[in-house]
A = this chain, B = another copy of it.
Amino acid sequence: MKVESNISAPTKFIQVGKESYAYRRFGTGSGLPLLFLQHFTGTLDNWDPAVTDPLAAGREVILFESAGVGRSSGEVPKTIVGMAKHALTFLDGLDLKSCDVLGFSLGGMVAQKMALERPSIFRRIILVGTAPRGGEDIMHLEKPSLAKHLNDPKLQGYAVLQKIFFAPTASSQAAGEAFIGRLLQRKDDREPVSGPEVAIAQIAAFRERERVTGERFTYLKSVRQPTLVVNGIHDEMISVSNSYRLAENLPNAVLLVYPDSGHGSLFQFHESFTRQVGSFLAANSASATY
């Protein structure tokens, strides 16, 4: 049997309306398809095969590249609303009426907006290292703990990710090094790396996200799906307090927080993460508990 993996899965393209979206779709099993929504500046190549592949053993996984990122056409929206619209258009293009979703960081914000816009689109929701509207300490790349790495000329490409996605401990940094190694396993059919225009638009979306509109966090009461909220306890990019607020205000969310880890806790603890997510997705009750 062919092992399906993000190391080798071909990049596909689908034209919907005026855009051509890049995506990868692989895996098999009885589970509902699982949509992956990506982080700040990330492309399809930023999905760790140690996370995608075990989950693809029980269902199809669909990695989506939003407009203006990688080989997807169009402009990067400057709002979460705009990104959610692209993702829904993409799912319509695939004629997918319902799926599960794993939104990481920026992708978790897009997932929340999609669930509000079209509640029937998701059965179960996984939100990792992300924040509600009106959250705090969301992607402030200018703060010293992040800026010192982002402005370090010795750190190029993935080496920066190792620093900012993982905690400053030997164990977390070693996990970061292993993560980078896994991302580099894919040799062919890779996406172009995001340039500054992607970063600038997405940062604008983060800034807009921090603004409170109406009563803080109240909109989360409308997200009724069973939800699993996951974070690393020492996340410098999007503070874990945002995951606390998600769990406190979503009506049906389990919160799982990992020790000794930062924004990339799902990659650091990929064995535990894929096991927990697998159990969460396998559950078919109305409750998020598993």
Which residues of A are in contact with B by a Cβ distance under 8 Å?
233, 240, 244, 247-248, 250-260, 269, 271-272, 275, 287-290
Contacts and interface: CB of A to CB of B under 8 A. Distances in A.
14 contacts: A233-B248, A233-B255, A240-B244, A240-B248, A244-B244, A251-B260, A254-B258, A254-B259, A255-B257, A256-B256, A260-B287, A269-B287, A271-B289, A272-B290
A50 B9 CA distance: 45
Contact of A289 (B244, B252, B269): B269
Nearest to A265: B289
Contact of A257 (B233, B254, B271, B275): B254
A132 B253 CA distance: 24
A252 B247 contact: no
Given A271-B289, A275-B290, 14 more contacts: A233-B247, A233-B248, A233-B255, A247-B257, A247-B259, A251-B260, A254-B258, A255-B255, A255-B256, A258-B289, A259-B288, A259-B289, A260-B287, A269-B287
Contacts of A272: 289-290
A259 B269 contact: no
Nearest to A283: B272
Contacts of A240: 244, 248
A278 B252 CA distance: 23
Contact of A250 (B251, B255, B259): B259
A233 B288 CA distance: 13
A289 B272 CA distance: 6
A30 to B, nearest CB: 21
Q: Give me the 10 closest cross-chain CB pairs, A-B, nearest first.
A: A255-B257, A272-B289, A269-B289, A252-B259, A253-B259, A247-B257, A233-B247, A259-B288, A233-B248, A256-B256
A287 B172 CA distance: 12
Contact of A260 (B252, B269, B271): B252
Contacts of A271: 289
A252 B258 CA distance: 9
A251 B171 CA distance: 12
A248 B233 CA distance: 6
A288 B257 CA distance: 11
A247 B290 CA distance: 21
A80 to B, nearest CB: 24
A65 to B, nearest CB: 30
A151 B259 CA distance: 41
A287 B260 CA distance: 9
Contact of A251 (B257, B259, B290): B259
Contacts of A258: 254, 289
Nearest to A252: B259
Contacts of A290: 272, 275
